[in-house]
Amino acid sequence: MDQISRRELASFGIGLAYLFTGGAAAALDVGGTDPMRFVSPEYKPLFPVLRRIAAMPPWDAKSLPNLRKPNALFVSPPPAATPPVVESMIPGPKGAPDVRAFVINGGAAGALKPAILHIHGGGFVMGSAKDGLRSLQEHAAAIDCVIVTIDYRLAPETRFPGALEDNYAGLKWLYAHAAELGVDRERIAVMGDSAGGGHAAMLAIAARDRGEVPLVYQVLIYPMLDDRTGSSRKMPPHLGQIMWRPADNRFGWTSLLGVPAGSARVPAGSVPARVGDLRGLPPAFIAVGSIDLFVDEDVDYARRLIDVGIPAELHVYRGAPHGFDRLPSETARQFNLVLRTAIKNAFDFAKK
């Protein structure tokens, strides 16, 4: 790379091996303006990396095998010694394979703990529950909760509703096995980031509609909620130029839905932003950066929840790109404090 070495990238916790695979770079489309102009000055040490990310080849069927290689985008630190992590295989949806899950901080003696069903990100097409274990351990310790994270089947090999049903199977398993996991089954939340945030929103909707597992909270971190973003709905050119771009979004949603992103019709329950009635959903925490491709859809989802009487806490971080919490910054540190406080408060409120 021009201004930064592989070793320096690794020191940021950013693998970005994909940047070294060659191929045509994507053109930047910000109306002739340097995309770094819109990024918070806090990230200035990372500008060489972010600029290179902005020029990466688009996500598509050709690039997907490279993207799926270990540490292609982010270096995942190994799990810590504590809280404990236990891998389990749980019954999958009817006619589908069993689902791998990781239980963090489960089975501890003492009072029952609240729990989070976590869903990893990756544009619906990549990623693994193992990738985020270290950060989830930190959340579990700070919040004093149990976290179960699910390895759902990925698109395009598995179309909707495969991943939703995997995640729902995980939620039902958590609820059914609450006692042995040390979980208070009346205090269960769902959480995810990016595509995982979209999956968490889908899961909250499915849980409401099926009426089998009550949820007290949904934590949506820069969630992927609307297939029309960057397809049938053109975005301002300064949004979504770093980390996750309109072409990437079209590929991710098309891979999941099995029809082109932005189509007039999509499978029911597959796109949270298209669900007409949000009444009866659990309170929400939503966070997104101000230059994230998803900022408009995330702000609008929070507004729609509020309009039907669902408490929603919304945070928009100035000049922050998609995935900002994985970049070394004061914003990321403050975000984690705010996030954990919000989840603790939600669990405390549900206990009363």
315 is an active site residue = no
For residues 197 and 223, the answer to whether their CB atoms sit within 8 Å is yes
**What's CA 220's distance to the chain center, in Å?**
7
For residues 166 and 196, the answer to whether their CB atoms sit within 8 Å is no
Taking the C-alpha atoms of residue 242 and residue 145, their distance in angstroms, rounded to an integer, is 33
194 is an active site residue = yes
**Close Cβ partners of 339 (under 8 Å, ≥ 6 residues apart):** 139, 219, 221, 285, 287
For residues 230 and 249, the answer to whether their CB atoms sit within 8 Å is yes
The catalytic position among 194, 231, 290, 329 is: 194
Taking the C-alpha atoms of residue 27 and residue 47, their distance in angstroms, rounded to an integer, is 17
For residues 166 and 119, the answer to whether their CB atoms sit within 8 Å is no
Q: Which of 2, 14, 6 is nearest to 52 (CA)?
A: 2
The catalytic position among 292, 298, 325, 329 is: 292
Helix (H) or strand (E) holding 67: helix 64-67
The catalytic position among 76, 322, 325, 329 is: 322
Cα separations in angstroms, 100 against 86, 97, 126, 131, 169: 11, 9, 15, 13, 11
Q: Where would I find the beta strands (DSSP E) of 105-224?
A: 113-119, 146-151, 183-193, 217-221
DSSP state letter for 111 = S
DSSP state letter for 120 = -
292 is an active site residue = yes
Phi and psi torsions of 230, nearest 5°: 80, 0
Beta-bridge partners for 89: 100
Taking the C-alpha atoms of residue 98 and residue 80, their distance in angstroms, rounded to an integer, is 26
Secondary structure string (H, E, C) spanning 12-30:
CCECCHHHHCCCCCCCCCC
Taking the C-alpha atoms of residue 188 and residue 174, their distance in angstroms, rounded to an integer, is 9
Active site residues: 194, 292, 322
